[in-house]
Amino acid sequence: DAKTTQPPSMDCAEGRAANLPCNHSTISGNEYVYWYRQIHSQGPQYIIHGLKNNETNEMASLIITEDRKSSTLILPHATLRDTAVYYCIVRVYPLSGGYQKVTFGTGTKLQVIP
């Protein structure tokens, strides 16, 4: 797996957009970028994923640079419930139907401030 680096912590005012960066400079051409978040004492929750195009769903937007060496997760209107640790992960999608184990980095602790 390509390694990822994220800032250890960030603050964001409630109602504002939270932009969480992730560096994955050694990403391979067939590796996807995934984002998960973990709210205190819960299991991680899937947010979004992408390969090379920008993606948007009901939770967030994912912006991947053209060279794919970095990405940004955007929470458009952060709420207090978005306070969590956010993990950026890269992994290959096993087209053969197999699996690939995932290891987590340290993530970014996002604190949404009232």
Partner 1 sequence: GAVVSQHPSRVICKSGTSVKIECRSLDFQATTMFWYRQFPKQSLMLMATSNEGSKATYEQGVEKDKFLINHASLTLSTLTVTSAHPEDSSFYICSASRGLYGYTFGSGTRLTVV
Interface with partner 1 (CB under 8 A):
32, 34, 36, 38, 41-46, 49, 87, 89, 91, 93-94, 97-99, 101-107
Q: Which is nearer to partner 1, 75 or 90 (CB)?
A: 90
Query: Which lies closer to partner 1 via its Cβ, residue 48 or residue 112?
Result: 48
Taking the complex as a whole, the smallest distance from the CB of residue 16 to partner 1 amounts, in Å, to: 26
CB 73 within 8 A of CB 60: yes
CB of 65 to partner 1, least distance (A): 21
Residues 6+ apart with CB under 8 A from 14: 78, 79, 80, 112, 113, 114
Tokens of 19: 């932009």
- 54 with 64: CB under 8 angstroms? yes
Q: Whole-number minimum distance, CB 39 to partner 1, in Å?
A: 10
Q: Are 54 and 61 in contact (CB under 8 A)?
A: yes
Q: Which is nearer to partner 1, 81 or 101 (CB)?
A: 101
